[in-house]
């Protein structure tokens, strides 16, 4: 079956997932449209990285459906997953460069790992990708010789080395100063448009993410609280979404990881228990 150009590249419906018995995703449905930049947002621990791992096949849904490029992935074989993953680029949260490889070799790594291209072609592709992130001139430097923002751009170049259909970035802006952050955000948008990619980005930076995204999905308390244009999400009257887009510390979104009641740990009865943890 050839999926139509208008069908979403990733289509998740009623998906449930938890690590062990604790549910993290409680029946979520979301679509990643082709050619667009979709931002996945929500509180820390809300399950954003988990969604990326499900799309990448590192985790399997407990129920519900994941359709990639028109193909239902439930029960897909390792070979099918391998082929699907080959069409994805991923920039992991805290994902670092290989410190003992040069900038060039970091970007060449997926090409050498996944293809049998002759070295002259690997060289051309690596230099093209480095050029796209403005670092063709830094090819011979080691990761220890470049700044954090440059390292992030090298990681972007590595994520797109295999010309993926879908590129997923998990927190690509973490730890960047405002100027580098703006540059990285614009770069993600440009790479998406110039290379004809589909982008799924997880980010906590509201302003910059709302600026570059076509669509925003907000996860809260295991559900999709909002999915729409940045403008529509910003104007949402849903209290969960309102709390999130206005960065309010308290509201319907839980700040605390579920645990014993605070009175049990700190209250008068809790103090009696304070022999262990």
Binding mask 10-39 for ligand ATP (x = CB under 6 A): ---------x----x---------------
Q: Point out which span in 26-34, 47-55, 179-187, 244-252 binds ligand ATP (CB under 6 A).
A: 47-55
Instruction: Give the chain's length.
Output: 277
User: If contact means CB under 5 to 8 A according to the sort of partner, which of ligand ATP, Mg ion, none does residue 45 touch?
Assistant: ligand ATP
Asked if 61 touches ligand ATP (CB under 6 A), the answer is: no
Asked if 49 touches ligand ATP (CB under 6 A), the answer is: yes
> Which residue, 63 or 93, is less far from Mg ion as judged by CB?
93
Residue 215 CB partners (closer than 8 Å, separation 6+): 33, 36, 37, 38, 39, 227, 228, 229, 230
Chain contacts with Mg ion (rule: CB under 5 A): 49, 93
> Which residue, 128 or 174, is less far from ligand ATP as judged by CB?
174
> Which residue, 19 or 266, is less far from ligand ATP as judged by CB?
19
Token pair, residue 261, equals: 């009641």
Q: Minimum distance from CB of 169 to ligand ATP (Å)?
A: 12
Q: Minimum distance from CB of 46 to Mg ion (Å)?
A: 8
User: Residue 129: helix, strand or coil by DSSP?
Assistant: helix
Asked if 199 touches ligand ATP (CB under 6 A), the answer is: no
> Which residue, 11 or 171, is less far from Mg ion as judged by CB?
171
Q: Minimum distance from CB of 24 to Mg ion (Å)?
A: 11
Residue 199 CB partners (closer than 8 Å, separation 6+): 36, 37, 38, 166, 167, 168, 169, 188, 191, 192
Q: Minimum distance from CB of 263 to ligand ATP (Å)?
A: 22
Helix (H) / strand (E) containing 114 = helix 103-114
At which residue do the structure tokens 């018995």 appear?
Answer: 21
Measured distance CA(36)–CA(212) in Å, rounded: 10
Measured distance CA(230)–CA(211) in Å, rounded: 8
Binding to ligand ATP (CB under 6 A) within 128-187 occurs at none
User: Residue 191: helix, strand or coil by DSSP?
Assistant: helix
Q: Minimum distance from CB of 85 to ligand ATP (Å)?
A: 19
# of chain residues touching ligand ATP (CB under 6 A): 11
Q: What angle do CA 83, 86, 89 make, to 5 degrees?
A: 145
> Which residue, 88 or 111, is less far from Mg ion as judged by CB?
88
Closest CA to 127 of 139, 118, 116: 139
At which residue do the structure tokens 């605390």 appear?
Answer: 256
Q: What angle do CA 210, 94, 202 make, to 5 degrees?
A: 25
Q: Which of 8, 30, 34, 50 binds ligand ATP (CB under 6 A)?
A: 50
Token pair, residue 145, equals: 């010789």
Do 213 and 48 meet the contact criterion of CB atoms below 8 Å apart? Answer: no
Q: Minimum distance from CB of 275 to ligand ATP (Å)?
A: 26
Q: Which residues contact ligand ATP by CB under 6 A? A: 19, 24, 44-50, 93, 257
């Amino acid at each position: 079956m050839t999926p139509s150009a208008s069908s979403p590249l990733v289509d998740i419906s009623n998906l449930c997932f938890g690590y062990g018995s604790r549910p993290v995703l409680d029946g979520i449905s979301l679509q990643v449209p082709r050619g667009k930049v979709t931002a996945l947002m929500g509180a820390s621990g809300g399950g954003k990285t988990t969604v990326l791992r499900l799309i990448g096949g590192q985790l399997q849904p407990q129920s519900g459906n994941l359709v990639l490029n028109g193909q239902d992935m439930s029960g897909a074989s390792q070979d099918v997953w391998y082929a699907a993953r080959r069409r994805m680029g991923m920039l992991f949260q805290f994902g670092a460069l290989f410190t003992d490889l040069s900038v060039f070799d970091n970007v060449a790594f997926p090409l050498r790992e996944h293809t049998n291209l002759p070295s002259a072609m690997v060289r051309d592709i690596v230099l093209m990708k480095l050029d796209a992130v403005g670092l063709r001139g830094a090819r011979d430097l080691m990761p220890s010789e470049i700044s954090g923002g440059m390292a992030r751009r090298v990681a972007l170049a590595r994520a797109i080395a295999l010309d993926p259909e879908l590129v997923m970035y998990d927190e690509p802006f973490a730890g960047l100063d405002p100027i580098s952050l703006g540059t990285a955000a614009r770069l993600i948008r440009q790479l998406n448009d110039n290379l004809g990619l589909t982008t799924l980005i997880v980010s906590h930076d509201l302003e910059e993410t709302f600026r570059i995204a076509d669509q925003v999905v907000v996860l809260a308390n295991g559900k999709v609280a909002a999915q729409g244009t940045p403008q529509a999400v910003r104007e949402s009257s849903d209290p969960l979404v309102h709390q999130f887009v206005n960065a309010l510390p308290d509201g319907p979104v839980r700040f605390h990881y579920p645990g014993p009641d605070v009175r049990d740990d700190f209250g008068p009865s809790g103090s009696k228990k304070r022999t262990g943890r």
